[in-house]
Amino acid sequence: MRTTRFFALAAAGVLATAGVTACSDSTKDEAGAAGGPIVVKATDTACEVGTTDLGAGTANFKITNSGAKVTEFYVYASGDRVMGEVENIAPGLSRELHVELPAGTYETACKPGMSGKGIRGALKVSGSAQPLTADAALAGATDNYQRYVKSQTDALLEKTEEFVGAVKAGDVAKAKTLYPVARTYWERIEPVAEIFGDLDPKIDGREEVIEEGMEFTGFHRIEKDLWQSGDVSKDGPIADRLLVDVKEIVAKANAEKLSPLQLANGAKELLDEVASGKITGEEDRYSHTDLWDFAANLEGSKAALSALRPALEQRSPELVKQLVTEFANVEAQLGKHRDGDGWKLHTALSKAELKELSDGINALAEPISKVAAVVAK
């Protein structure tokens, strides 16, 4: 019987005492271990971190980008193991990062222009926090990912509103620019969205999957009109409908708490999405913006795994090492196809370049397919 076995295994898991410390109460970590957000002043040439000496527990960084380039902020453990990261901090904006840090030495990094090794600084964490059992690490994973879903759905709603606005205003050029941007937030959390069966096809269904009697709506319907005929004058109702559907899924997604197993499987499914639909250019067949979706799927997969990382570190450090290596590999491969702030079109890549990406995704998806079993152990 499944349940019995599950409990027996969970009990066994406790014996493997955790070395990782963290705060499992997600409502409390606003305060952070050091008693308030650590201010990070990021510019194009500097990365000033408010303090370089912390107590163990959950640290809360507040990063303000006063530079001219989009930046990112990372906390690395030795060997550039990512403990926490915030991406896409636009000039003038502030973003927060909550990261669980046991005692040890770390590095902080700002990455103006979102590339390279970044501007590094040392970070020391000392003392100890309440040690967690394996199960609490998993509970923490769920909370952690829930925050991610919240941040992504906020942005999804905002960017979809802008996109819908442009479509209804007949501004084809602006709508084309916004299309891959709005989808980025969608593609990062797609496994969550897929839980709600009928909404996913309404928002993201492609023409061939629409069943008899069902209307072809959503992003790809508008994509077709934008790129094929360039005429969106009749798409007002479709755009309104998209917004209604997105609002509904945002509300549902935030009410849903994913189990650690769903998280693990979601991380794998995102890569399967890449392997089956993006590599082939099937997904965005009119706009050819598949690489935007590719990058977003990859980021979403990484976010789900980051949430599980404390639990994985305890249970299978070898697997974590492999995942870090393979993520870095695919990111480097994908990085070659950047185009300004976005990505090259699928049609601009040679067959050999697509095969390289496909190999990279396969190499990453293999170890990721083992995560669920490690979580269930």
Partner 1 sequence: MSASRLTRRRAITLAGAGVAGVAGVAAGAGALVGDSRGPAAASDHPAGAVPFFGEHQAGIVTPAQDRLHFVAFDVITKDRARLVEMLEEWSAAAARMTAGRDAGVLGAVGGMPEAPPDDTGEALGLPPSQLTLTVGFGPTLFRDADGRDRFGIADRRPAALAELPKFPGDALQAPISGGDLCVQACANDPQVAVHAIRNLARIGMGVVSVRWSQLGFGRTSSTSRDQATARNLFGFKDGTANLKAEETDRLRDQLWVQPGDGPDWMTGGSYLVTRKIRMLVETWDRTSLAEQEEIVGRTKGSGAPLGRSKEFDEPDFAARGDDGKPLIPEHAHVALAHPSRNNGAHLLRRGYNFVDGSDGLGRLDAGLFFIAYQRDPRRQFVPIQTQLARHDVMNEYLRHVSSGLFACPPGVRDGGDHWGRALFG
Q: What is the contact mask toward partner 1 in residues 328 to 367, using x (rule: CB under 8 A)?
A: ---------------------------x--xx--xxxxxx
Pick the stretch among 108-116, 147-155, 238-246, 315-323 that binds partner 1 (CB under 8 A): 315-323
Minimum separation from the CB atom of position 326 to partner 1 (A): 6
Minimum separation from the CB atom of position 119 to partner 1 (A): 29
**Distance between CA 51 and CA 124 in Å, rounded?**
9
Minimum separation from the CB atom of position 18 to partner 1 (A): 16
Q: Output 262 or 287, the one with its CB closest to partner 1.
A: 262
**Distance between CA 63 and CA 90 in Å, rounded?**
11
Minimum separation from the CB atom of position 371 to partner 1 (A): 9
Count residues contacting partner 1 (CB under 8 A)?
26
- Which helix (H) or strand (E) segment is 253 a member of? helix 236-255
> Residue 116: helix, strand or coil by DSSP?
coil
Q: Is the CB of residue 60 less than 8 Å from the CB of residue 37?
A: yes
The verdict on 9 binding partner 1 (CB under 8 A) reads yes
Q: Output 156 or 271, the one with its CB closest to partner 1.
A: 271
Minimum separation from the CB atom of position 362 to partner 1 (A): 5
Looking at 322, 331, 342, 353, which residue binds partner 1 (CB under 8 A)? Answer: 322
Q: Output 26 or 369, the one with its CB closest to partner 1.
A: 369
Residue type, 164: V
For the four alpha carbons of 197, 198, 202 and 203, in that order, the dihedral sign comes to negative
Residue 330 corresponds to which tokens in the numbers above? 């695919």
Residue 165 corresponds to which tokens in the numbers above? 């606005």
Dihedral over alpha carbons 337, 342, 348, 351 (to 10 degrees) = 40
Query: Among residues 279, 304, 276, which one has the least CA distance to residue 188?
Result: 304
Residue 176 corresponds to which tokens in the numbers above? 């084309």
Minimum separation from the CB atom of position 138 to partner 1 (A): 13
**Distance between CA 175 and CA 195 in Å, rounded?**
28
Looking at 39, 261, 345, 354, which residue binds partner 1 (CB under 8 A)? Answer: 261
Minimum separation from the CB atom of position 264 to partner 1 (A): 8
Classify residue 132 by its DSSP letter. Answer: P
Q: Is the CB of residue 58 less than 8 Å from the CB of residue 26?
A: no
**Distance between CA 81 and CA 320 in Å, rounded?**
9
Q: Output 97 or 305, the one with its CB closest to partner 1.
A: 305
The verdict on 319 binding partner 1 (CB under 8 A) reads yes
Looking at 21, 144, 289, 316, which residue binds partner 1 (CB under 8 A)? Answer: 316
The verdict on 190 binding partner 1 (CB under 8 A) reads no
Pick the stretch among 38-46, 60-68, 196-204, 368-376 that binds partner 1 (CB under 8 A): 368-376
Minimum separation from the CB atom of position 73 to partner 1 (A): 29
Q: Is the CB of residue 81 less than 8 Å from the CB of residue 71?
A: no
Looking at 220, 326, 337, 343, which residue binds partner 1 (CB under 8 A)? Answer: 326
Could you tell me whether strands 119-126 and 81-89 are parallel, antiparallel, or unpaired per DSSP bridges?
unpaired
**Distance between CA 44 and CA 302 in Å, rounded?**
26
Q: Output 159 or 302, the one with its CB closest to partner 1.
A: 302
Looking at 198, 211, 212, 318, which residue binds partner 1 (CB under 8 A)? Answer: 318
**Distance between CA 169 and CA 313 in Å, rounded?**
50
The verdict on 5 binding partner 1 (CB under 8 A) reads yes
The verdict on 11 binding partner 1 (CB under 8 A) reads no
Q: Give 193's Cβ-side CA count (13 Å radius).
A: 27
Binding site for partner 1 (CB under 8 A): 2, 5, 9, 261, 316, 318-319, 322, 326, 355, 358-359, 362-367, 369-370, 372-377
